[in-house]
Structure 1
């Protein structure tokens, strides 16, 4: 089997999570500046066997797309030009809130919980878990 990679896309930075080869465990990988995201993914997918890329789909409570969606769609178009791996969109509502809650429950100090890069990475992990455990 190959890995599944999840992306919590942001206009400034993007959280990334990945499974193990057996697709049993979802782990945070890193946070990347969004400007460097395409090159990071291309390089990562050349080194690792990735069978699917999940990209969070931000929606409002009324099920409408959020403002960042137009940026994500453009990113998806560019990604498909660089990497030939299936892309699946996953509803990412509440992932940031769940990420902060998990940080609190794990006992992280307030200063560490304010690290937005860590929140993005954990959010990507939650997106990945949502897909794996459906």
Structure 2
């Protein structure tokens, strides 16, 4: 089976499983942060945030959060996402090579590379939230 599925304790596809056992391990967090499939999902979410939510960073962060978590972010959550976005944008403006590595593989990336890389990292964080990964 695909290694990420094993990390998330997915059952074998050889038989039917009515209910899965709920697990949460540090390896799962490392997988969602580093697996190419999850990173591509973060890239796609970043592109949607930029294209669909307009130029306002607050609207973009709220849009991405709501799209993934299915609820509006609290003011504190929104401020944390925006603070992270600003820090990443500053980092990528100073290190354009790193920004290029993050956006490598994008098709038709017509926006500012540093901005796109920063939103990709914000998307990666949102996709790695416990509320995103586990169902309560």
Q: TM-score range by the shorter chain?
A: under 0.3
Higher helix share: 2
Q: Which has the higher Rg, Structure 1 or Structure 2?
A: 2
TM-score by length of structure 2 reads 0.26
TM-score by length of structure 1 reads 0.26
- Which structure has more RCO (C-alpha within 8 Å, separation ≥ 6)? 1
Higher strand share: 1
